[in-house]
Chains A and B, each alone.
Chain A
Amino acid sequence: MTTLLRLLVLVPAAAALLGLLLARQVALARAVAVVGALGTLGIAAAVLVGQDPQTVGTARLIPALHLGIPGQDAGGLSIPFWQTASGPVVLIAFVVALVAGCVQVYTTWYLRDDDRYGVFAASVSLFSAAMLLVVTSSDLVLTLIGWEVMGWCSYLLIGHWSRKEAARRAAHKAFLVTRVADVGFVLGVVILAGGAGTTSYVQVSGYWAGCQDSASAQAACAAVDHRVLTLALVLLLVGILGKSAMVPFHDWLPDAMEGPTPASALIHAATMVAAGTFVLAQLFDVLAADDTARAVLGVSTAVTMVWGAVLAFGQSDLKRLLAYSTVSQVAIMLSAIAAAPPQDGPTAGTFHLYAHAFYKALLFLLIGWMSVLAGGTSAVRLRGVARRSVLLHVAFLLGLASLAGLPFIVGGLSKEHVIEAAYAGSRAGDATGTLVLAALLLTVVLTAAYATRAYLVVAAGPANPPTIQGYRPSSHPSGADDGAFAEARVIAGPGGEMPAHAGDDLLEHDGPGGRLPAAAATDAAGHDLGRPPVAVLGVVVVLLAGTVLGGLVLFTDLLPGTRSPSGAITAVTVLLVVIGALLAAIASISRAPHPAHALSRGRVDPAVRIVGKRMPLFDNGFGADTAYRVLVAQPILALAHGVAHVDDRVVDATARLCARLVAWTGGLGVRAHSAERPSTGLVWVALGALVVGAVGVLGWR
């Protein structure tokens, strides 16, 4: 078990290194990436099968560091680098490895003509290694390592198509926003470790939350300063909110849609945004010890889940719709951790993380497929595209059903668990629980509405994308999209100030082969680009199976402490889902004979009907990007200019002034010596010598 745990991280890391070295040899790079990912999946499966709930496996990843003696001298720190394998850990590790494997296989098709495929695949391998490190970590520093490496990988993946300005900007923004939030994460880790003198999860929990278990630990409790604990947890949460794309850090995630679709699937489903939930689940005992931190998390997630769902509904681009749905869904996971009663544990959140991984990976990979068929990801382009393949149609429908939370499908089950947890928290008199519960119920309606909208768009018939009404080639500078909505955006946006707009687009396939984006194109080898190879269809089937049958995990003991939702909760949830779906469906009915943006006869895109001309506002996230620039970036840059100015005109000028003074006095001396009466100068010199001598004599005594 210990060796397997180590290999779980080391194999994908080695695949990343090897893949990078072989990046130019496409065939080899592909083999390394796929074999590495499948090998990792095999190891994860072995760990999952071999897991024994009685004995939790541990392994030391690299040699431990002991900097001073913990507990005996301030500043001493012990970093043991432990990994662990409890039930939820091995379950989530398996899901991560599964999604990463699916993404690697899918990428071999999706990016097969990309001249930087090798680098991309290596980054994906490194990304999954970092996520597996976070998942299996039982050490704050190991978590921090995986955490930051993921951030960097997201920069590389989002900016993969670095020849596009929009992709460069999105990558830049994603890394900067999360890194700024990570200031909090680092400080939180530092404070938590500083109290305990070690970074081991077990000892950190024991130190900060130990006094809740037994009265015998009273001595330890006295040492814990609760204000410090609150500070540490709030700082840690800031980092987690950043990486998980919660308000107010959320705006990097929709822009990150500039990355290739496999990267989006990885970031949204199994890594990066999901990591924060798992870290908090591992540190649940510490979090539960502090109500302030839980309230902070509760408020942020409650706001985010509604905010994300509202924005998702009004997006003109379906890939961005999925991005906002991730924002909303991740908020649901985290809210479960904030709202659950301490004795229940974080299981509801972990379960939703598990469920979300399946259906979100599925949805993203499908939308990538659709974008290849339709040549873009805007709602206008994707009209009716699902009708071109039965598998595509069914899989997308079930993925959306899971997202919306229909019962018995994994997403519905997990959402009911979260609602149950929040209800339990609320009933226990916890204000955070009540707030989260209210937000959850509202979000269920909204989620069903936007999921229905997405389905109505892609399933609309008859499908003939190239002749859609209102289609005109776009003059959008980033070339990001075409069609009426893009034009509306350009007109509404203040002169190119709009956030970079997202989506797989016409420039997506701009590899050296110059592949045509049109649906019916074939590549040099004569393959039909719209029909993925069997391996990719297999990936879709695997994820679909997970989406439908993933709930079976409840019959195992991998998710201990699950509180089954009551019948009333299920009934209420179903009712709300139906209400949301009906609202969207009713809004799509139009009596007008030839409505603009028609989906099919008598039907329009419900978002167009409801949001209408305000869609550009939704597309730019209600101006979050502008707020980042005006409130954060510009003041810091102004400060930087000020500092640079002071550095030159004050600090360095002082040095220059000194040099001038010395040179000037030197000049005076020269002039004194070169004067007409040398004797005077000599007198001064003699006098000076005399003074120095006198001082010396006097001072000697």
Chain B
Amino acid sequence: MAMTALLALPLVVGLWLVTGGRGLPRTTAGVAALVTSVVTLGLAAYAVVARPAVDQAWVPAAGIRWQLVVDGISAPLVVLTAAVGVLVAILGLRHVPEGGSAATFHGCLLLVEGGALGTFLANDAILFFVFFEIVLVPMWVLIGRFGDPHDARQRADAAARFVLFTVLGSMLMLTGILLLVHEAGTTRLSALPVAAADLPHGVQVLVVVLLTAGLGVKVPLVPLHTWLPPAHTTAPTAGSVVLAAVLLKMGTYGLVRLPFASLPEGWSTVAPVVGVIGAVGIVWGGLVCLVERDLKRLVAYSSVAHMGFVALGLATGTRAGLQAALFLNIAHGVISALLFVVVGGLKERWGSVDLSRPRPALRETSPHLGFALLLGFAAGLGLPGLAGFWGEFLAVYAAWSSAATDAGAHVLRWCAVAAAIGTALAAGYALRVARVVWVGDEVPPGTARFDADGGERVVTVSLIAAIVVLGVLPAVVFSVMTDAVNRVVGG
């Protein structure tokens, strides 16, 4: 019951806000969204602790069931999603971008949250796909209507790109899912590994390729990533946060649940290619970040690099690799959320975040925002003691000591080297941003000073706390995942 409520609450309230409650005043809508998201977070916490399961017939004719479960793999993501839901509600309370009513804005955020929660909770492949797609339209509205008010054409382009790329991916994924479900004879995700174990190798590889290509758009993997930077640049702050912290995770979560867990044999054939794609993504994203002029695009490309680490971890097919990928998922969610909150806040105030334009240094004018930005980039470059370190280190480790066969192992070792080089590139772009934006000459006395407002302070401080806790006590997340990981790998 709690599970259904966990999904229904944000979806129903969100739907009401975008339809019947569209005319609600700003504060009322904001408070309603905040209350909803806080209750959802409470329900998510309960679901993660008590682990209730729901299993009811849904479309009996097709054997599709309304099945929701929480396990060690989804639990951290469920908490992350619900927590991010609260944070964006706070952000929305302080500022609703132009483009529509406040209620619509909050409603879309709640719909995205509900869809993402459903994706992480579904234990049925078709149900997973349905929730995966639910997210699409509200996100499109967030980008297309509430995005950057300066350029309508750019907004339309970014929103259309987002939808078209993602739908293309979804179609590939749907084909893969249908093929898999048809061949294996069950839609139940937890039963798929056993049911699909005896599939012919060719079919396994085909399904894995379809699923990986489809989900790879969402992750995104190079070279399917070019929708992400415009989407991030255009989306409002809250939208960027949700996009980075939640939506990308749906892609990696799908990779873990479908090809990785269901078809380990097919996955191991394709894995070296995925590893190379991941490694290329790490270096590619890092290099682009060294010269990118728009700070929001830069953060988006750094996401591409970080998702490369996730892909690399998964490609190894080992427990360490899977743990690395899952941990990095959470870590990147928190880190990118922080970065987009800060960079979005800067864009609201500056009008643009063009790095080539000289501006007073944040360390002089806005110490709080400056600190948050620096810490976010420090975490992004994988500094130990902060969240980003564990996933990256373990991904490199796993790639070096993978379970792959000889040729594959050789490839993955080179990927480990590339990934390690990627961490140096990350330091390069992090310091570049710090030098352009954070530090600078003393400002003249009359310079306009601004700093984080109340809402931003709450959000950034909570995210910073999360980054430090994940960095110092990684066991918090690893211990939750262990059992599920052991079940998936070599179960």
Among residues of B, the one whose C-beta sits closest to the C-beta of A162 is: B439
Q: Are A194 and B284 in contact (CB under 8 A)?
A: no
Q: Are B316 and A183 in contact (CB under 8 A)?
A: no
In the complex, which residues 354-369 of chain B have their Cβ closer than 8 Å to any Cβ of chain A?
A: 361, 363-364
Q: Are B420 and A183 in contact (CB under 8 A)?
A: yes
A470 at the interface (CB under 8 A from B): no
Given contacts A74-B401, A75-B316, A183-B421, A640 and B287 within 8 Å (CB-CB)? yes
Contacts of A630 in B (CB 8 A): none
Query: What is the bound-complex CA distance between A182 and B441, given in angstroms?
Result: 30
A148 at the interface (CB under 8 A from B): yes
Q: Are A162 and B475 in contact (CB under 8 A)?
A: no
Q: CB < 8 Å: which of A144, A155, A176, A647 contacts B288?
A: A647
Given contacts A144-B384, A159-B439, A194 and B400 within 8 Å (CB-CB)? yes
Closest Cβ–Cβ distance, residue B279 to chain A (whole Å): 14
Question: Would you give the 0/1 interface string for B379-393, flagging 1 where the beta carbon is closer than 8 Å to chain A?
Answer: 001111100010001
Query: What is the bound-complex CA distance between A76 and B394, given in angstroms?
Result: 10
Contacts of A639 in B (CB 8 A): 287
Closest Cβ–Cβ distance, residue A69 to chain B (whole Å): 8
Question: Would you give the 0/1 interface string for B305-333, flagging 1 where the beta carbon is closer than 8 Å to chain A?
Answer: 00000000000111111010000000000
Contacts of B288 in A (CB 8 A): 640, 643-644, 647
Question: Would you give the 0/1 interface string for A142-167, flagging 1 where the beta carbon is closer than 8 Å to chain B?
Answer: 00111011001001000100110100
A651 at the interface (CB under 8 A from B): yes
Among residues of A, the one whose C-beta sits closest to the C-beta of B443 is: A163
B480 at the interface (CB under 8 A from A): no
B149 at the interface (CB under 8 A from A): no
Query: What is the bound-complex CA distance between A637 and B425, given in angstroms?
Result: 11
Q: Are B427 and A176 in contact (CB under 8 A)?
A: yes
Q: How many residues of B contact A (CB 8 A)?
A: 65
Q: CB < 8 Å: which of A144, A145, A187, A652 contacts B417?
A: A187
Contacts of B323 in A (CB 8 A): 67
Q: CB < 8 Å: which of A62, A64, A75 contacts B318?
A: A75
Among residues of A, the one whose C-beta sits closest to the C-beta of B468 is: A17
In the complex, which residues 65-82 of chain B have their Cβ closer than 8 Å to any Cβ of chain A?
A: none
Given contacts A73-B319, A141-B393, A652-B226, A67 and B478 within 8 Å (CB-CB)? yes
Select the residue from A73, A146, A149, A640 with max chain B CB neighbours within 10 A.
A640
Question: Would you give the 0/1 interface string for A58-70, flagging 1 where the beta carbon is closer than 8 Å to chain B?
Answer: 0000111111100
Q: CB < 8 Å: which of B403, B442, B474 contacts A75?
A: B403
Closest Cβ–Cβ distance, residue A293 to chain B (whole Å): 18
Among residues of A, the one whose C-beta sits closest to the C-beta of B439 is: A162
A515 at the interface (CB under 8 A from B): no
Query: What is the bound-complex CA distance between A172 and B439, given in angstroms?
Result: 11
Q: Are A162 and B440 in contact (CB under 8 A)?
A: yes
Contacts of A647 in B (CB 8 A): 226, 284, 288
Query: What is the bound-complex CA distance between A318 and B156, given in angstroms?
Result: 61
Q: Are B287 and A67 in contact (CB under 8 A)?
A: no
A549 at the interface (CB under 8 A from B): no
A692 at the interface (CB under 8 A from B): no
Q: Are B435 and A168 in contact (CB under 8 A)?
A: yes
Contacts of B316 in A (CB 8 A): 75
Select the residue from A175, A639, A644 with max chain B CB neighbours within 10 A.
A644
Among residues of B, the one whose C-beta sits closest to the C-beta of A155 is: B431
Q: Are B383 and A190 in contact (CB under 8 A)?
A: no
A659 at the interface (CB under 8 A from B): yes
Closest Cβ–Cβ distance, residue A649 to chain B (whole Å): 11
Q: Are A636 and B403 in contact (CB under 8 A)?
A: no
Contacts of A541 in B (CB 8 A): none
Question: Would you give the 0/1 interface string for B412-438, flagging 1 where the beta carbon is closer than 8 Å to chain A?
Answer: 000011001101100110010001001
Q: CB < 8 Å: which of B287, B382, B383, B402 contacts A643?
A: B287
Q: Are B320 and A75 in contact (CB under 8 A)?
A: yes
Q: CB < 8 Å: which of B378, B393, B473 contacts A144?
A: B393
Query: What is the bound-complex CA distance between A183 and B382, given in angstroms?
Result: 12
Contacts of B424 in A (CB 8 A): 176, 179-180, 182-183
Query: What is the bound-complex CA distance between A655 and B160, given in angstroms?
Result: 12
B490 at the interface (CB under 8 A from A): yes
Contacts of A66 in B (CB 8 A): 482
Q: How many residues of A contact B (CB 8 A)?
A: 52
A18 at the interface (CB under 8 A from B): no
Query: What is the bound-complex CA distance between A691 and B290, given in angstroms?
Result: 53
Given contacts A148-B384, A644-B291, A659-B164, A65 and B474 within 8 Å (CB-CB)? yes
Q: CB < 8 Å: which of B223, B320, B396, B428 contacts A76?
A: B320
Contacts of A636 in B (CB 8 A): 287, 290, 428
Closest Cβ–Cβ distance, residue A210 to chain B (whole Å): 19
Chain B at the A interface: mostly helix, strand, loop or mixed? helix
Query: What is the bound-complex CA distance between A356 and B417, given in angstroms?
Result: 35
B292 at the interface (CB under 8 A from A): yes
Closest Cβ–Cβ distance, residue B282 to chain A (whole Å): 12
Given contacts A149-B385, A187-B416, A75 and B402 within 8 Å (CB-CB)? yes
Q: Are A74 and B402 in contact (CB under 8 A)?
A: yes
B31 at the interface (CB under 8 A from A): no
Q: Are B396 and A62 in contact (CB under 8 A)?
A: no
Closest Cβ–Cβ distance, residue B317 to chain A (whole Å): 8
Query: What is the bound-complex CA distance between A255 and B31, given in angstroms?
Result: 53
B398 at the interface (CB under 8 A from A): yes
Contacts of A644 in B (CB 8 A): 287-288, 291-292
Q: CB < 8 Å: which of A152, A163, A651 contacts B383?
A: A152
Among residues of A, the one whose C-beta sits closest to the C-beta of B409 is: A74
Query: What is the bound-complex CA distance between A636 and B70, given in angstroms?
Result: 45
In the complex, which residues 488-512 of chain A have their Cβ closer than 8 Å to any Cβ of chain B?
A: 510
Q: CB < 8 Å: which of B227, B427, B482 contacts A175?
A: B427
Query: What is the bound-complex CA distance between A149 and B478, given in angstroms?
Result: 22
A641 at the interface (CB under 8 A from B): yes
Query: What is the bound-complex CA distance between A152 and B403, given in angstroms?
Result: 34
A77 at the interface (CB under 8 A from B): yes
Question: Would you give the 0/1 interface string for A191-233, flagging 1 where the beta carbon is closer than 8 Å to chain B?
Answer: 1011000000000000000000000000000000000000000
A367 at the interface (CB under 8 A from B): no
Closest Cβ–Cβ distance, residue A182 to chain B (whole Å): 7
B472 at the interface (CB under 8 A from A): yes
B129 at the interface (CB under 8 A from A): no
Q: Are A186 and B319 in contact (CB under 8 A)?
A: no
Question: Would you give the 0/1 interface string for B447-468, flagging 1 where the beta carbon is closer than 8 Å to chain A?
Answer: 0000000000000000000000
Contacts of B318 in A (CB 8 A): 68, 73-76
B46 at the interface (CB under 8 A from A): no
Question: Would you give the 0/1 interface string for A113-147, flagging 1 where the beta carbon is closer than 8 Å to chain B?
Answer: 00000000000000000000000000001001110
Closest Cβ–Cβ distance, residue A468 to chain B (whole Å): 29
Contacts of A63 in B (CB 8 A): 473, 475, 479
Closest Cβ–Cβ distance, residue B470 to chain A (whole Å): 13
Closest Cβ–Cβ distance, residue A619 to chain B (whole Å): 24
Q: Are A186 and B320 in contact (CB under 8 A)?
A: no
Among residues of A, the one whose C-beta sits closest to the C-beta of B304 is: A647
Q: Are B401 and A75 in contact (CB under 8 A)?
A: yes
Q: Are A62 and B472 in contact (CB under 8 A)?
A: yes
Closest Cβ–Cβ distance, residue A355 to chain B (whole Å): 30
Among residues of B, the one whose C-beta sits closest to the C-beta of A126 is: B385
Q: Are B290 and A640 in contact (CB under 8 A)?
A: yes
Q: Are A176 and B393 in contact (CB under 8 A)?
A: no
Question: Would you give the 0/1 interface string for A264-303, flagging 1 where the beta carbon is closer than 8 Å to chain B?
Answer: 0000000000000000000000000000000000000000
Q: CB < 8 Å: which of A64, A180, A190 contacts B396?
A: A190
Given pairs A67-B323, A183-B423, A652-B226, 20 additional interface contacts (CB within 8 A)? A62-B472, A65-B474, A65-B475, A65-B478, A74-B403, A144-B393, A149-B383, A159-B439, A163-B442, A168-B435, A172-B435, A176-B431, A179-B381, A187-B396, A194-B401, A510-B442, A647-B284, A651-B223, A654-B223, A655-B165
Sampled A-B contacts (19; CB under 8 Å): A67-B319, A67-B320, A68-B489, A73-B403, A75-B320, A141-B393, A152-B383, A163-B441, A172-B431, A172-B435, A176-B427, A180-B424, A190-B396, A190-B400, A640-B287, A647-B288, A651-B222, A651-B226, A655-B165
Give 9 nearest A-B pairs by CB, closest first: A75-B318, A68-B319, A145-B384, A162-B439, A194-B401, A652-B226, A640-B287, A179-B427, A640-B290
